[in-house]
Structure 1
Amino acid sequence: MHAPDLALIAALTGVTHSAAIAITALTSLAARTPHRRRDARATLRLLLFVRRP
């Protein structure tokens, strides 16, 4: 792969991850039921948690 291709893939991955975090954060605030809000908060924790080797 060429360097520009890798840069594009990295950028798209970053945008996709950021969008997933934003949507999950909005869901955790706007969900109607407490169960859905808890699920969204748990998913948000998983998306933001960085495991160190």
Structure 2
Amino acid sequence: MQKMLEILALHGPLTTWGMAKVVLHDEKSGIRTKEKEYRRLLKGRKDRGKHSLAS
């Protein structure tokens, strides 16, 4: 969470995809994973290694 706040403080308003690109600008394959992690943190969900069912 602290890293997210640092990114937003330095770069202004960004989407979760934009925050992931700031952190992983050289690693294209890891951007999606990091973006999912940021989105989960913002929504207040925790990754417990389980998949949620789509409704």
Smaller-chain TM-score bracket: 0.3 to 0.5
Structure with more helix by fraction = 1
Structure number with larger C-alpha Rg: 1
State the TM-score, normalized to the length of structure 1.
Answer: 0.41
